Amino acid sequence: MSSSALTAPTTALPIRPAAPETHTSITRRSLSVAAPPVGLTRRPRPILPRVRLILVRHGLSEWNASGRVQGQADPPLSPQGRDEARRLAPMVAAEAPEAVVSSDLARARETAELLEAGPVETDPRWRESAMGAWTGRPAEELMADPSGAFARWREGLEPPPGGESFDDMRERAGAAVRDLVARGLRCALVVTHGGPVRAAVAELAGLAPWSLVPVPNACMTVIETTSGRIGAFAVRPPSLARARADA
């Protein structure tokens, strides 16, 4: 599927967990909202040579399936996650990436191998955000905490206890993108995690984390490094969306 075949809604998106089967392409304009949370502002985006960057979040892991926060823990893909990666493969292949880079964590690395888009290089800068004391805890328990700390982390306002801030993750993802751009590639595939996908989009499009919804497993985001134009955000193949809807 090419980015030109994707339609773009024009409504702003709130920060909320989104149903996996409903993600569609959205534009840079639609990612913007009227005002940031107190104390949080946008940063200017870098000016880089043109590369079409394909960002893929890994398939469903064993901890995703049980609702546990992963961070940089290293659970494997679940059987469902392997199936998701295989279903996503034709969509990724249509982009014809010239290089494939993956987080070094097992769930991303195996997803990259199942996509069969080329030899897989690993780069730890594409790891998920370090979640500190929240690692391994049920996400529902953290969301129910009356302190609101989990919601503030989602907005990029504060890190988890003993964990990594959004700005720190954004810095390392941005450095990894710049190194890819320096290789003179026209199109590169990065298989990573939800946090770095949002961090890279925030960096390249000049957006703040509060304007980006979480991305589901086994989805594809496409962004041009020169313009910051988002060609697709959190797109899943129709066969996978139907399978999730029927489950």
Catalytic residue among 23, 58, 155, 164: 58
119: left (phi over 0), alpha (psi -120 to 50) or beta: beta
Tell me how many degrees the CA angle 235-204-164 measures, rounded to the nearest 5: 90
Please state, as a whole number, how many other Cβ atoms lie within 10 Å of the Cβ of residue 214: 15
Alpha-carbon distance values, 84 to 23, 64, 112, 190, 242 (Å): 15, 13, 12, 16, 12
Residue 85: Cβ-neighbour burial (10 angstroms; 0-12, 13-18, 19+):
buried
Q: What are phi and psi of 100, to 5 degrees?
A: -125, 120
Closest CA relative to residue 170, chosen from 225, 126, 232? 126
Cβ neighbors of 123 (< 8 A, separation 6 or more) are 101, 102, 103, 104, 176
Whole-angstrom distance, CA of residue 212 vs CA of residue 116: 29
140 in catalytic set: no
128 in catalytic set: yes
Cβ-defined contacts of 75-78 (< 8 Å, 24+): 75/106, 75/107, 76/106, 76/107, 76/110, 77/106, 77/107, 77/110, 77/111
Q: Which two tokens stand for residue 142?
A: 């953290």
Catalytic residue among 84, 110, 128, 203: 128
Active site residues: 58, 128
